[in-house]
């Protein structure tokens, strides 16, 4: 439901008109981009994942599995700070150095270790993250900061030697709470002099890494008006989420060595090979051409591998030890020393009319970056920018974010990228409005929510006022209808027992498809004689099946079976450039580059067919492995063209294509999360009967893989809603050091998950696709919180939702 602009706000009207003009509804879509389901050969079919068979036989090779290829491979142990804040005054390395089979003991003073500051965040250049990290650190800012490393013949020896290092600290006061960290007398973590590439609003004296705000309309005026008007209600809520671990299955691992040309070669578990290559080049002052980053199979990333975690140290160590080195992190390090989802506190105020129409939203988020700043500004921005577009029609919106340092582990990128924290606040708040006004929560949302054809401006709230995007596909209504039916929203059977109460809760969700205007994906495809194709992309398949979807896109264009398109894993020496696997961009961005490249190759097939059959190129189409004339019906097989192109008498030319794709568009996928819960009002215990998530990701290019994304993301979302996260004692010592201390759901306690796919068609995406990898991670915390509220009347706004909190809140009532 598009709403006309607020006539009172002249500023906004002008901006909106300008934005509307530059984002017209019409999109010049190529006719062959839109195929009816019965015309699709391979897209929207659940094709087998291209690595499935090697995974189930154990032959898929991950970074650590390459160790045997390096007979003189050394292994390393990282020595980490065991205090939360201080400075290392001395490291005695003599005992370790004296040990047999120890090849190097490295400290910040070692010549191989760069002094320069950098950010680990694998982002576009220049990175929108402060350069505040050093490979090894003299000043330590959390328990887990790397201060030295030992390289030895094997891991055991390295660990033994590492324990012999004698470290002396000068200990400082530490701060663990974001509110306290901003107080004037709080311990200061960073000095602005030691940080480069500062982010907007940085105020290191107050431990503020970044601070930004933006406004659409006039929020203060809306609240003043509400004070005077009987028909306007003000609602205020508060929300909180803890540290969450990625629990990434494959611990971060890097093997670094010098190849026969003396270039650095890294095999690494990374989501961002190209960013890593560039960042290593800058950090080590080595030309980009002298670094190769190869990505083997990856044991998933979820954002934890969107950055250089093990790569810089491994590169320094291979020089120090003068041999190939492997750094394989431990699960303990994964939990306390690497990256996490950042905790957030969000306050939300709104003005709403009696009929449920939103007049103003005022949102304020404070995120805990932990000790350093990778992804700090961008994630804190996303806490508001991601969910607010659902309610972009609200005439007055303000968002303010502050990213704050504490002496706790480094937060980083994590699937959803701030959106889960923001969705809890926004979608929890919507239910509070509905409750206050006695409106059905779904009706309230339907009255205000974005829909197809609308101009969306809220995602640009922190940018200049020129930013907006046209919503060209939106299946929210269908997602709501299907999810509502599947969960049984309209007929919840109350349990017999009086102390048990059952209810459904829901939340809407939204994400993006790539970072608008930023990301670049490129592809190269070439044909073999036998009508098979080699596809090279920089797309980084970290597990979800991106390579399979890329093969499907190329196969659809060329009308060959997807197994005839062989996709090569990303390698900076071989694949075209790509920003990497993040921001839900691969299908949408790189997929479009693959489509264009395949179309170029198809054009060459038509050129050959034209010569071979004596008909104009425009006469041809491809079907089932052959090029066919639509005029005469004559055809030539793609295989015949393959041989002709390479060994023919007339023209010899490699059939191939290449293309890049970068766009200002980032069409949001949409989804609706539903949770069905029964709560025991005496104990606070609750049982989840079902979690249903319905998604509109445009055309689902591989439905089975899409379902896999939904189910896996809902599992993580459920964990954020109910798990304790990572905890620390009063000295900042981590209490969560392994899976046994962490509430990751197992088969025994994971509630059932139901995934539903609603098809829409996104004209800007390859064959109508948008993204799906992140969006389903946003919904369970608000939907479960809303369900509990509807069941027993109490609101748990600080995650996790636990029986103890519910019981305590019921007691307070």
Among 47, 75, 77, 676, binds another protein (CB under 8 A): 47
- Give which of 471, 469, 474 is closest to 454, Cα–Cα: 471
Cα(127)–Cα(106) distance, rounded to whole angstroms?
28
From the list another protein, ligand FES, none, pick the one residue 752 interacts with, judged by a Cβ distance below 5 to 8 Å according to partner type. another protein
Of residues 127 through 156, those in contact with another protein by CB under 8 A are 156
- Give which of 789, 213, 682 is closest to 462, Cα–Cα: 213
Among 212, 300, 366, 796, binds ligand FES (CB under 6 A): 300
Cα(11)–Cα(467) distance, rounded to whole angstroms?
14
CB 808 within 8 A of CB 802: no
Instruction: State the minimum distance, in angstroms, from the CB of residue 2 to ligand FES.
Output: 42
Question: Is 329 an interacting residue with respect to another protein (CB under 8 A)?
Answer: no
Among 26, 68, 193, 498, binds another protein (CB under 8 A): 68
Contact stretch for another protein (CB under 8 A) within 99-107, 233-241, 295-303, 519-527: 295-303
- Of 298 and 365, nearer to another protein (C-beta) is 298
Instruction: State the minimum distance, in angstroms, from the CB of residue 91 to another protein.
Output: 26
CB 158 within 8 A of CB 77: yes
How many CB atoms neighbour CB 740 within 10 A? 7
Question: Is 760 an interacting residue with respect to another protein (CB under 8 A)?
Answer: yes
CB 368 within 8 A of CB 343: yes
Q: What is the size of the binding site for another protein (CB under 8 A)? A: 80
Residue spans of beta strands (DSSP E) within 176-225: 208-216
Cα diameter, the chain: 88
Cα(564)–Cα(552) distance, rounded to whole angstroms?
10
- Give which of 17, 50, 6 is closest to 535, Cα–Cα: 50
Residue nearest to ligand FES (CB): 249
Question: Is 298 an interacting residue with respect to another protein (CB under 8 A)?
Answer: yes
- Of 57 and 618, nearer to another protein (C-beta) is 57
- Of 146 and 776, nearer to another protein (C-beta) is 776
Instruction: State the minimum distance, in angstroms, from the CB of residue 250 to ligand FES.
Output: 8
Please, what is the end-to-end C-alpha distance for the chain in angstroms? 39
Of residues 84 through 123, those in contact with ligand FES by CB under 6 A are none
Question: Is 424 an interacting residue with respect to ligand FES (CB under 6 A)?
Answer: no
Of residues 245 through 274, those in contact with ligand FES by CB under 6 A are 249
Among 543, 591, 657, 751, binds ligand FES (CB under 6 A): 543
Question: Is 505 an interacting residue with respect to ligand FES (CB under 6 A)?
Answer: no
Contact stretch for another protein (CB under 8 A) within 171-179, 307-315, 353-361, 711-719: 711-719
In sequence order, the 6+-apart residues with CB closer than 8 A to the CB of 714 are 673, 691, 693, 753, 755, 776, 777, 779, 780
From the list ligand FES, another protein, none, pick the one residue 781 interacts with, judged by a Cβ distance below 5 to 8 Å according to partner type. none
Of residues 444 through 483, those in contact with another protein by CB under 8 A are 473, 475, 478, 482
Cα(365)–Cα(404) distance, rounded to whole angstroms?
11
Judged by DSSP in three states, 14 sits in helix
Residue owning tokens 């998933």: 300
- The enclosing H or E element of 687 equals strand 686-696
Q: Beta partners for 522?
A: 660
- Give which of 285, 283, 287, 256 is closest to 269, Cα–Cα: 256
Question: Is 738 an interacting residue with respect to ligand FES (CB under 6 A)?
Answer: no
Of residues 230 through 259, those in contact with another protein by CB under 8 A are 246-251
- Of 135 and 300, nearer to ligand FES (C-beta) is 300
Among 312, 422, 712, 800, binds another protein (CB under 8 A): 712
From the list another protein, ligand FES, none, pick the one residue 298 interacts with, judged by a Cβ distance below 5 to 8 Å according to partner type. another protein
How many CB atoms neighbour CB 235 within 10 A? 17
Among 79, 366, 753, 801, binds another protein (CB under 8 A): 753
Instruction: State the minimum distance, in angstroms, from the CB of residue 703 to ligand FES.
Output: 18
Residue positions counted in the chain: 813
Among 9, 20, 29, 61, binds another protein (CB under 8 A): 61
Question: Is omega for the bond preceding 642 within 30 degrees of 0, making it cis?
Answer: no
Question: Is 56 an interacting residue with respect to another protein (CB under 8 A)?
Answer: yes
What φ, ψ does residue 484 adopt, rounded to 5°?
Answer: -60, -45
Q: What residues line the site for ligand FES (CB under 6 A)?
A: 249, 300, 543
């Amino acid at each position: 439901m598009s709403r006309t602009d607020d006539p009172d706000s002249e500023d906004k009207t002008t901006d909106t008109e300008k934005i509307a003009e530059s984002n017209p509804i019409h999109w010049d879509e190529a006719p062959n981009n839109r195929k009816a389901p019965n015309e699709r050969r391979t897209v929207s079919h659940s094709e087998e994942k291209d690595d499935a068979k090697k995974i189930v036989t154990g032959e898929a090779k991950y970074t650590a599995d390459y160790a045997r290829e390096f007979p003189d491979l050394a292994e390393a142990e990282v020595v980490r700070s065991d205090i939360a804040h201080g400075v290392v005054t001395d490291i005695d390395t003599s005992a370790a150095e004296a040990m047999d089979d120890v090849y190097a003991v490295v400290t910040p003073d070692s010549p191989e270790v760069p002094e320069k500051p950098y950010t680990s965040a694998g982002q576009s250049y220049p990175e929108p993250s402060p350069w505040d990290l050093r490979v090894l650190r003299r000043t330590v800012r959390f328990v887990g900061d790397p201060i030295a490393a030992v390289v030895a013949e094997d891991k055991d020896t390295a660990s033994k030697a590492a324990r012999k290092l004698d470290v002396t600290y000068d200990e400082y006061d530490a701060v663990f709470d974001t509110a306290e960290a901003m107080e004037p007398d709080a311990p200061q973590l960073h000095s602005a002099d030691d940080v480069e590439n500062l982010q907007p609003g940085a105020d290191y004296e107050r431990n503020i890494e970044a601070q930004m705000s933006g406004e659409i309309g006039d929020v203060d005026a809306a609240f003043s008006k509400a004070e005077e008007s009987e028909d306007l209600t003000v609602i205020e809520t508060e929300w909180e989420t803890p540290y969450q671990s990625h629990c990434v299955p494959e611990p971060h691992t890097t093997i670094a060595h010098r190849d026969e040309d003396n270039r650095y070669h890294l095999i690494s578990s990374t989501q961002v090979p190209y960013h890593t290559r560039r960042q290593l080049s800058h950090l080590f002052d080595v030309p980009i051409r002298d670094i190769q980053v190869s990505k083997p199979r990856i044991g998933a990333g979820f954002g934890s591998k969107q950055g250089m975690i093990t790569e810089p140290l491994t590169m320094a160590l291979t020089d120090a030890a003068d041999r190939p080195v492997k750094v394989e992190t431990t699960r303990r390090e994964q939990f306390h020393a690497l990256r996490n989802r950042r905790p957030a506190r969000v306050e939300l105020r709104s003005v709403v009319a009696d009929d449920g129409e939103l007049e103003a939203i005022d949102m304020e988020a404070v995120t805990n970056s932990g000790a350093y700043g990778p992804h700090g500004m961008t994630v804190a921005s996303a806490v508001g920018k991601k969910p607010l577009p659902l309610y972009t029609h609200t005439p007055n919106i303000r968002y303010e974010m502050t990213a704050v340092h504490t002496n706790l582990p480094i937060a980083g990128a994590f699937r959803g990228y701030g959106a889960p924290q923001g969705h809890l606040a926004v979608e929890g708040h919507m239910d509070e409005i509905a409750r206050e006004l006695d409106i059905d929560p779904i009706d309230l949302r339907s009255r205000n929510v974005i829909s197809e054809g609308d101009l969306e401006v809220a995602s640009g709230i922190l940018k200049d006022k020129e930013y907006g995007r046209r919503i060209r596909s939106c299946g929210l209504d269908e997602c709501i209808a299907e999810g509502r039916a599947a969960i049984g929203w309209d007929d919840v059977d109350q349990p017999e027992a009086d102390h048990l109460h059952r209810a459904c809760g829901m939340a809407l969700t939204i994400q993006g498809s790539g970072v608008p205007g930023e990301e670049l994906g490129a592809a190269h495809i070439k044909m073999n004689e036998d009508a098979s194709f080699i596809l090279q992309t920089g797309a980084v398949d970290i597990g979800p099946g991106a390579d399979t979807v890329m093969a499907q896109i190329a196969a659809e264009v060329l009308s060959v079976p997807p197994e005839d398109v062989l996709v090569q894993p990303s390698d900076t020496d071989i694949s075209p450039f790509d920003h990497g696997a993040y921001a839900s961009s691969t299908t949408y961005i790189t997929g479009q580059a693959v489509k264009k490249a395949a179309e170029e190759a198809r054009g060459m097939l038509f050129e050959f067919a034209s010569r071979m059959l004596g008909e104009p190129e425009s006469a041809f189409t491809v079907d089932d492995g052959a090029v066919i004339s639509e005029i005469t019906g004559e055809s030539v097989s793609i295989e015949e063209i393959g041989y002709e192109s390479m060994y023919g008498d007339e023209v010899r030319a490699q059939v191939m294509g290449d293309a890049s794709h970068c766009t200002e568009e980032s069409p949001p996928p949409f989804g609706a999360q539903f949770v069905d819960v029964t709560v025991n009002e005496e104990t606070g215990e609750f049982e989840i009967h079902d979690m249903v998530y319905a998604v509109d990701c445009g055309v689902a290019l591989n439905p089975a893989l899409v379902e896999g994304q939904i189910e896996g993301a809902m599992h993580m979302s459920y964990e954020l809603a109910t798990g304790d996260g990572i905890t620390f004692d009063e000295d900042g010592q981590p209490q969560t050091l392994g899976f046994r201390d962490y509430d990751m759901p197992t088969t025994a306690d994971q509630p059932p998950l139901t995934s539903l796919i609603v098809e829409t068609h996104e004209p800007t995406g390859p064959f109508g696709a948008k993204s799906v990898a992140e969006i389903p991670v946003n919904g369970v915390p608000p939907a479960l919180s809303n369900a509990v509220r509807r069941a027993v009347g109490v609101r748990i706004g600080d995650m996790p939702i636990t029986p103890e909190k519910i019981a305590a809140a019921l007691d307070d009532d």
